[in-house]
């Protein structure tokens, strides 16, 4: 794009959430077309100089209300429906590489308690908008940093972002390498050309390059062993789902394990078996037996490998491959649903957008009917939704519909959400995507 600083005005209709701290500005809330900002030549030299950020697919924008009163700085992408991501709320200080570095350093510093906990070697280092960096999610796995990009601007500046994070980690005694896990749909959503297959998965650690182009070609990710909640896990950052392991459920895995002592447990939609393996090992009196069920055979192979790594004897668990919605609806899990004292439901995202909400809530209701219908009295169900388009109230209502249709008494014994390294700003409720309930089925 042509290098110029733009002035963007937000309409009266759209200004309130932006003033309150929301980081997104959609194209239909802009008051007119962008215009060149009235800025000095010295400011342009700062923003576009030798040490500048890459503006290949976006433009720096001074954001104002409909009258032109400045609010802050953002990144403008004319090809995207989400046209502006707010990066700074200090209009008097332009958004530069120095400002972005400060935001990243602040995010890393906020995880100081996790760095100090020897039981935790894997956690989220940067959580996008919640940490002030829209378009970046970075997870640390021991000495491997797995970074996922969801905006054109952050993709263009991947080298600088990764080098800053590596420097922060090095200062804490963690000499990290970097692997990239790219949301392929991002390129279409942001209106930019996608890299060739194989060029988007991994960037080896090393010095940042001088190139203003896309990040360099990939190398294949390698499996590593990290500790979470004191247990060793074999993971492959930069592959599979998300950035390699669901760090957001770290605290919930420990909470669920507290209910598992001596129990027969079903870990449905188990992926790498985080809930079941933590229940087997994470408390002095762990679960007696766990059935791990998932549609992915490679995921279940990882469960078996992690069980061996953690010293779990083969007679304490088994794995089942299949479509969980069918297995649960037909009560086809080993021993039947009624044989389990504790069941975990952690399905994939069922509601991708608010437009899918009605259908998605019906899917959640049907899933819970399948399970609650067969559960025996005085058992527990830990159930989760990772759909950001579903509120906590929506999710509870869908589960309540299922219990009501079955005329079963179900009480809430605990409410769960994402781990603290996935913060939720009050002005950005979309960050609170994970919600969970510990239910007592009577």
CATH of the domain at 171: 3.30.750.80
Residue-level pLDDT at 256: 97
Domain count, the chain: 3
pTM score: 0.89
Pairwise CA distance, residues 348 & 70, whole Å: 41
Task: Give pLDDT, residue 245.
Answer: 72
Q: How far apart are CA 146 and CA 238, in angstroms?
A: 6
Q: Convert the pLDDT of each residue in 344-395 to its tens digit.
A: 999 999 998 889 999 999 999 999 999 999 999 999 999 999 999 999 999 9
Instruction: Determine the Cα–Cα distance for residues 275 and 266; give it in Å rounded to an integer.
Output: 9
- pLDDT number for residue 209: 32
H or E element at residue 64:
strand 59-64
pLDDT at 110: 98
3-class DSSP assignment, residue 268 = strand
**Would the pLDDT of 282 be above 70?**
no
Q: Is 206 contained in some domain?
A: no
Helical H runs in 172-264? Answer: 185-190, 250-257
Within this chain, do residues 89 and 106 fall inside the same structural domain, yes or no? no
- Whether 210 has a pLDDT exceeding 50, the answer reads no
100 sits in which H/E element? helix 97-109
324-332: long-range pairs with CB below 8 Å, 24+: 324/268, 324/269, 324/293, 324/294, 324/295, 325/366, 325/367, 325/370, 327/293, 328/268, 328/367, 328/370, 328/371, 329/366, 329/370, 331/370, 331/374
Q: Domain range spanning residue 76? A: 6-95
Residues 283 and 403 in one domain: yes
Confidence category of residue 40, pLDDT binned at 50, 70, 90: confident
Distance of CA 259 to the CA centre of its chain: 26
Same domain, 265 and 282: yes
Is there a single domain that holds both residue 279 and residue 427?
A: yes
The pLDDT tens digits for 211-263 are: 334 444 344 567 899 999 999 999 888 665 544 578 999 999 999 999 999 99
Name the strand (E) or helix (H) holding 297: helix 297-309
d(CA 404, CA 179): 46
Closest CA to 178 of 166, 167, 194, 164: 166
pLDDT at 213: 43
239 within some domain: no
């Amino acid at each position: 794009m042509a290098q110029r600083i733009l002035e963007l005005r937000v309409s009266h209709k759209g200004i309130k959430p932006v003033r309150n701290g929301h980081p997104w500005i959609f194209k239909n809330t802009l008051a007119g077309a962008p215009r060149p900002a009235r800025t000095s030549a010295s400011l342009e030299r700062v923003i576009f100089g030798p040490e500048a950020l890459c503006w290949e697919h976006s433009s720096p924008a001074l954001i104002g209300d409909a009258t032109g009163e400045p609010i802050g700085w953002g990144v403008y992408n004319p090809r995207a429906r989400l046209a502006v991501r707010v990066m700074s709320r200090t209009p008097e200080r332009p958004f530069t590489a120095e400002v972005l570095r400060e935001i990243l350093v602040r995010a890393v510093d906020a995880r100081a308690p996790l760095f100090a906990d020897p039981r935790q070697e894997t956690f989220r280092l940067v959580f996008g908008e919640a940490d002030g960096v829209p378009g970046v999610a970075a997870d640390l796995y021991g000495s491997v940093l797995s970074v996922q990009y969801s905006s054109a601007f952050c993709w263009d500046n991947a080298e600088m972002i990764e080098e800053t994070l590596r420097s922060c980690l090095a200062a804490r005694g963690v000499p990290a390498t970097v692997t990239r896990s790219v949301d392929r749909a991002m390129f279409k959503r942001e209106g930019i050309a996608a890299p060739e297959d194989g060029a988007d998965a991994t960037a080896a650690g090393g010095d940042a390059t001088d190139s203003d182009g896309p990040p360099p070609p990939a190398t294949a990710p390698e499996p590593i062993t990290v500790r979470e909640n004191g247990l060793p896990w074999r993971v492959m950052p930069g592959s599979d789902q998300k950035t390699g392991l669901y760090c957001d459920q770290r605290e919930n895995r420990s909470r669920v394990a507290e209910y598992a002592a001596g129990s027969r447990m079903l870990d449905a939609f188990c992926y790498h078996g985080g809930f079941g393996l933590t229940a087997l090992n994470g408390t002095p009196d762990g679960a007696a037996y766990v059935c791990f069920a998932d549609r992915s055979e490679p995921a279940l192979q990882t469960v078996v490998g992690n069980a061996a790594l953690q010293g779990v004897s083969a007679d304490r668990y088994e794995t089942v491959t299949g479509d969980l919605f069918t297995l649960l609806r037909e009560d086809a899990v080993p021993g039947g649903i009624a044989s389990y004292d504790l069941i975990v439901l952690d399905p994939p995202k069922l509601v991708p957008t608010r437009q899918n909400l009605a259908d998605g809530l019906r899917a959640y209701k049907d899933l819970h009917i399948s399970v609650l219908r067969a559960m025996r009295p005085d058992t527990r169900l830990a159930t989760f939704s990772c759909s950001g388009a579903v509120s906590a109230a929506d999710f509870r209502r869908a589960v309540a519909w299922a219990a009501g249709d079955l005329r079963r008494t179900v009480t809430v014994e605990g409410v769960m959400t994402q781990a603290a390294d996935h913060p939720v700003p009050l002005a950005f409720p979309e960050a609170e995507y994970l919600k969970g309930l510990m239910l007592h089925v009577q």
